Chains A and B, each alone.
Chain A
């Protein structure tokens, strides 16, 4: 038997509040922090990762520089500069380490985060 749960979407901000090439942090109702990134100015391209940097334990990933490495969209941790794949949460420098990925969508000009 499979339990099917409806995914819950939480609106965090307007798309216009996301600076292209940067991220913001949002606080989910359950207390978790998600870092929402908008790598460029294309509206549909947004990503969500846990805001907590697994190397330092600090909730800072949303404040990292966003870019790409060999075509892979990444954020660089502002603490010690490890890169995380925005699509999978996997650390580029250490494949054993990854952060939780949150689904993110743009709906009617609003950015919404779903439960992972």
Chain B
């Protein structure tokens, strides 16, 4: 077996091992990865998001099978003659092929005071932990920090510092921020937008010296400014880690980096280099995409292939401190004769520039700041002929001039993460893909960074795939429109709504949907008046229909907490009615096999014992699951059961576009699995983190962090807003994950609306939830108290008390289960 040694366990090294294993399942290579950091490989691109929840596990890259990874043991020497490497611990590894994936290190300008305590760099998890600890030691009051370097990483660092409660100063030597990616105009707007976010920007200045003064740091800038700060973070660029290559005599570039050829091979044919430590055609790339491309090349070469590095696409689109920035192709118009077209709307905070060839016919590149929505289309058009006037490419939306995605040639790459062209996407659409989810699945487009998802939607529209938003054939409106109509007009019956705003008599889509909206608007008991006729069978009988036509019953057990006395009641009811019992995933008990006639009798007993409806039958809040938290658990940091009970009692009975599940965990160990819920709460030392948009099911999703470290009162207010905004604006049967994904701007947009209150609707959302909480009444009690409602609970209108003769049971593992009706495929 061949032996491969990989030095470095960063993103490029990890990708190489993964690619090799994917292409070589037989395992013709034995792989040893030698890592300097003590942590498993992690997503360094997402490093700044570590500050959101300090959850390292979230950043860890999937481990690769059949590779030995040796953490925390850096390589000290390479003996190319003997084909061995020796690590700090003295271990020796022989190799047939060696890959250098040593990455880069942060450049720290050698100014006086650069090594004082309080000076940090921004590159690894340990760096961030160090910054966090330092920030924690600073007293309250004026807290500020200096970031040296205003590039991409510097602005990321500024965000991290701001999230840690410090006011950052950013010092950039160039006359603008992000000088590599944006031009002067874009940089100007970027500076203005970022200054609005409590970040002070100093451009055209360098840091001359740092001195310690009364426990703080005093930084002197070249323009004479003195900054009194608590800590300093250097983010002034990176340099390739090529010291091992130098010490073993491999060729290195003029400005550093291990020189490799198109096959990523160094001057020694059995040694390769990939990622930020490699120098290809005289260039070193500090981006992950070229590193990945090199890793793929080496994996292919190790298996006898002849792949070559295709050159790097250095296009980038990112959100820095909430500001969209994109740069693609020849952003600085370096091509001879290149022409620039700029559209700058300082009022709206949007800067757009495209660079075209001297004949204005070919798109070469561009810069977008503030509004980067055109990025997927424009990046894909680079190198292609401009359809008509270049200015139309960036004309404001609605002016009629903007070039649609229709202009893209089939060869244009729409998804750059997975190299999917427009042609491939059109082919998938032609083969029957009718929505974005299907296109993603069939082509892998949009499964990486997701920036091309709007483009996929547009391509579907261009292909004439009707993305009708009508609720059904009776209502041309979307659910959100109907909700607004109901709110604005005060209409509270289906018959009036369909008469004035729809056609026909309605169907099994619009009737339950409208019933749900009426319930959300506080229209009384769900079986009152004509509402009863609108309900799906589950809501009509307030129970869950099962395969033989019987129903299951789920009493509410808030937070999963229940007394032995109440457990006994459930046990007795199950025994007396011969019900099959099972513990659910939501920490409650499901009782199966009840006929329509039995439901009120069962509920009489349950309600008398203090139980109420668990709404397992409804598109409504189901459960708020919990772990035992501080009450019992030696690790708990907050009272998770108490919070879960409070939340479940607050939102019980809330009807929503789809079911809503929730959980509260008492510490970061997350035993309640809150991140798989529509809203999940995880305790922190000082409060709660709120995650939204998770679900299990057919397409599992992890919930994303919305806010961190909020107190209990704020947590409840934010969940009030989240749920009410969801109830009002989601589509029918759209879970929260899909709702957030479909939102233009995703989780960031959601945060703007319900945390920052950008639409000014938060007070109103909270008031609407308060109304729900005040008007809540148990649905089953409502039935038991009303003879007219009770009368509907009979199997036969002409034979009250006679059970359905087609229902029969057999016994399995000591319980009653339905006898199969045995009519697969449908009979006549």
Alpha-carbon distance A78/B596, docked complex (angstroms): 14
A60 to chain B, nearest CB (A): 4
Knowing A21-B534, A64-B508, A70-B473 touch, does A57 contact B822 (C-beta < 8 A)? yes
What sequence of 0s and 1s flags, for each residue 777-807 of chain B, a beta carbon within 8 Å of any chain A beta carbon?
0000000000000011001111100101111
Whether B508 and A65, one on each chain, are in contact in the complex, defined by CB atoms closer than 8 angstroms, is yes
B348 at the binding interface (Cβ < 8 Å): no
Whether B534 and A26, one on each chain, are in contact in the complex, defined by CB atoms closer than 8 angstroms, is no
Whether B533 and A20, one on each chain, are in contact in the complex, defined by CB atoms closer than 8 angstroms, is yes
Alpha-carbon distance A73/B506, docked complex (angstroms): 10
A48 at the binding interface (Cβ < 8 Å): no
B466 at the binding interface (Cβ < 8 Å): no
Whether B798 and A21, one on each chain, are in contact in the complex, defined by CB atoms closer than 8 angstroms, is no
A66 to chain B, nearest CB (A): 8
A63 to chain B, nearest CB (A): 4
Q: Kindly report which residue of chain A lies nearest to residue B820, judged by CB atoms.
A: A57
B404 to chain A, nearest CB (A): 34
Q: How many A-B residue pairs have CB under 8 A?
A: 121
B828 at the binding interface (Cβ < 8 Å): yes
A103 to chain B, nearest CB (A): 16
Knowing A54-B828, A60-B545 touch, does A78 contact B797 (C-beta < 8 A)? no
Whether B797 and A67, one on each chain, are in contact in the complex, defined by CB atoms closer than 8 angstroms, is no
A21 to chain B, nearest CB (A): 4
Knowing A21-B533, A69-B473 touch, does A56 contact B823 (C-beta < 8 A)? yes
| Contact among B506, B507, B802, B806 with A58 in the assembled complex (CB-CB below 8 Å) | B806
- Considering only residues 62-116 of chain A, those with a C-beta below 8 Å from chain B are 63-71, 73-74, 76, 78-79, 81, 83, 94, 97-98
Contacts of A59 in B (CB 8 A): 549, 804, 806-807
- The main secondary structure of chain B at its interface with chain A is loop
Whether B823 and A78, one on each chain, are in contact in the complex, defined by CB atoms closer than 8 angstroms, is no
Whether A26 and B796, one on each chain, are in contact in the complex, defined by CB atoms closer than 8 angstroms, is yes
Q: Kindly report which residue of chain A lies nearest to residue B804, judged by CB atoms.
A: A59
Contacts of A13 in B (CB 8 A): 797-798
Alpha-carbon distance A83/B791, docked complex (angstroms): 27
Whether B507 and A69, one on each chain, are in contact in the complex, defined by CB atoms closer than 8 angstroms, is yes
Q: Looking at A22, A74, A81, which has the most chain B CB atoms within 10 Å of its CB?
A: A22
Knowing A54-B827, A56-B823, A57-B823 touch, does A26 contact B530 (C-beta < 8 A)? no
Whether A97 and B795, one on each chain, are in contact in the complex, defined by CB atoms closer than 8 angstroms, is no
Contacts of A36 in B (CB 8 A): 797
A49 at the binding interface (Cβ < 8 Å): no
A32 to chain B, nearest CB (A): 10
B800 to chain A, nearest CB (A): 10
Alpha-carbon distance A66/B799, docked complex (angstroms): 23
What sequence of 0s and 1s flags, for each residue 444-456 of chain B, a beta carbon within 8 Å of any chain A beta carbon?
0000000000000
Whether B507 and A65, one on each chain, are in contact in the complex, defined by CB atoms closer than 8 angstroms, is yes
Q: Kindly report which residue of chain B lies nearest to residue A25, judged by CB atoms.
A: B796
Whether A81 and B508, one on each chain, are in contact in the complex, defined by CB atoms closer than 8 angstroms, is yes
Whether A26 and B537, one on each chain, are in contact in the complex, defined by CB atoms closer than 8 angstroms, is no
Alpha-carbon distance A19/B540, docked complex (angstroms): 12
- Considering only residues 802-819 of chain B, those with a C-beta below 8 Å from chain A are 802, 804-807
| Interface size classification for chain A | 35 or more
Knowing A27-B802, A65-B536 touch, does A56 contact B821 (C-beta < 8 A)? yes
Alpha-carbon distance A64/B540, docked complex (angstroms): 10
Q: Looking at B534, B541, B791, B804, which has the most chain A CB atoms within 10 Å of its CB?
A: B804
Contacts of A73 in B (CB 8 A): 505
Whether A12 and B798, one on each chain, are in contact in the complex, defined by CB atoms closer than 8 angstroms, is yes
Contacts of B505 in A (CB 8 A): 21, 39-40, 67-68, 73
Whether A78 and B826, one on each chain, are in contact in the complex, defined by CB atoms closer than 8 angstroms, is no
Whether B530 and A20, one on each chain, are in contact in the complex, defined by CB atoms closer than 8 angstroms, is yes
Whether A78 and B545, one on each chain, are in contact in the complex, defined by CB atoms closer than 8 angstroms, is yes
Q: Looking at A20, A63, A70, which has the most chain B CB atoms within 10 Å of its CB?
A: A63
Whether B805 and A24, one on each chain, are in contact in the complex, defined by CB atoms closer than 8 angstroms, is no
| Number of chain B residues close to chain A: CB under 8 A | 42
Alpha-carbon distance A18/B530, docked complex (angstroms): 12
A112 to chain B, nearest CB (A): 11
What sequence of 0s and 1s flags, for each residue 14-38 of chain A, a beta carbon within 8 Å of any chain B beta carbon?
0001011110111100010100100
Contacts of A26 in B (CB 8 A): 796-799
Knowing A31-B805, A97-B828 touch, does A71 contact B504 (C-beta < 8 A)? yes
Contacts of B535 in A (CB 8 A): 65
B526 to chain A, nearest CB (A): 14
Contacts of A9 in B (CB 8 A): none
Alpha-carbon distance A52/B352, docked complex (angstroms): 63
Whether B823 and A67, one on each chain, are in contact in the complex, defined by CB atoms closer than 8 angstroms, is no
Whether A19 and B532, one on each chain, are in contact in the complex, defined by CB atoms closer than 8 angstroms, is yes
B511 at the binding interface (Cβ < 8 Å): yes
B547 at the binding interface (Cβ < 8 Å): yes
Whether A55 and B537, one on each chain, are in contact in the complex, defined by CB atoms closer than 8 angstroms, is no
B512 at the binding interface (Cβ < 8 Å): yes
Alpha-carbon distance A66/B541, docked complex (angstroms): 16
Alpha-carbon distance A36/B797, docked complex (angstroms): 10
Knowing A31-B805, A57-B821 touch, does A65 contact B530 (C-beta < 8 A)? no
Whether A64 and B826, one on each chain, are in contact in the complex, defined by CB atoms closer than 8 angstroms, is no
Alpha-carbon distance A72/B545, docked complex (angstroms): 26
A15 to chain B, nearest CB (A): 11
Alpha-carbon distance A96/B665, docked complex (angstroms): 52
B79 to chain A, nearest CB (A): 69
- Considering only residues 525-577 of chain B, those with a C-beta below 8 Å from chain A are 530, 532-538, 540-541, 545, 547-549
Whether B826 and A60, one on each chain, are in contact in the complex, defined by CB atoms closer than 8 angstroms, is no
Whether B797 and A24, one on each chain, are in contact in the complex, defined by CB atoms closer than 8 angstroms, is yes
Whether A76 and B508, one on each chain, are in contact in the complex, defined by CB atoms closer than 8 angstroms, is yes
A11 to chain B, nearest CB (A): 8
Alpha-carbon distance A40/B713, docked complex (angstroms): 48
Contacts of B822 in A (CB 8 A): 57
Alpha-carbon distance A1/B532, docked complex (angstroms): 51
Alpha-carbon distance A26/B799, docked complex (angstroms): 7
Contacts of A22 in B (CB 8 A): 532-533, 540
Alpha-carbon distance A6/B630, docked complex (angstroms): 77
Whether A97 and B533, one on each chain, are in contact in the complex, defined by CB atoms closer than 8 angstroms, is no
| Contact among B545, B791, B804, B806 with A79 in the assembled complex (CB-CB below 8 Å) | B545
Q: Kindly report which residue of chain B lies nearest to residue A18, judged by CB atoms.
A: B797
Contacts of A65 in B (CB 8 A): 507-508, 511-512, 534-537
Whether A97 and B826, one on each chain, are in contact in the complex, defined by CB atoms closer than 8 angstroms, is yes
Contacts of A20 in B (CB 8 A): 530, 533
Knowing A20-B533, A21-B533, A22-B533 touch, does A63 contact B508 (C-beta < 8 A)? no
| Contact among A21, A64, A78 with B530 in the assembled complex (CB-CB below 8 Å) | A21
Alpha-carbon distance A60/B822, docked complex (angstroms): 15
Whether B823 and A54, one on each chain, are in contact in the complex, defined by CB atoms closer than 8 angstroms, is yes
Whether B511 and A54, one on each chain, are in contact in the complex, defined by CB atoms closer than 8 angstroms, is no
Contacts of A25 in B (CB 8 A): 795-797, 804
Knowing A39-B505, A65-B512 touch, does A54 contact B826 (C-beta < 8 A)? yes
Alpha-carbon distance A106/B510, docked complex (angstroms): 29
A39 to chain B, nearest CB (A): 6
Whether B507 and A76, one on each chain, are in contact in the complex, defined by CB atoms closer than 8 angstroms, is yes
Alpha-carbon distance A67/B806, docked complex (angstroms): 26
Q: Kindly report which residue of chain A lies nearest to residue B505, judged by CB atoms.
A: A68
Contacts of A67 in B (CB 8 A): 474, 504-508, 510-511
Whether A27 and B548, one on each chain, are in contact in the complex, defined by CB atoms closer than 8 angstroms, is no
Contacts of A71 in B (CB 8 A): 504
A77 to chain B, nearest CB (A): 9
| 28 contacting pairs across A/B (C-beta < 8 A) | A10-B798, A12-B797, A13-B797, A13-B798, A19-B533, A21-B530, A22-B540, A25-B795, A25-B796, A26-B798, A27-B799, A33-B806, A54-B826, A54-B828, A55-B823, A56-B821, A57-B821, A57-B823, A57-B827, A58-B806, A60-B549, A63-B537, A63-B541, A65-B535, A67-B474, A67-B508, A68-B504, A76-B507
Which 9 pairs between the two chains have the least Cβ-Cβ distance? A57-B821, A57-B823, A78-B537, A21-B533, A76-B508, A67-B507, A58-B549, A65-B508, A24-B797
Sample of 18 more A-B contacts, CB < 8 Å, known A58-B806, A59-B804: A12-B798, A20-B530, A21-B534, A22-B533, A24-B797, A25-B797, A26-B796, A33-B806, A54-B827, A56-B823, A57-B827, A65-B512, A68-B507, A69-B473, A74-B507, A78-B545, A79-B545, A97-B826
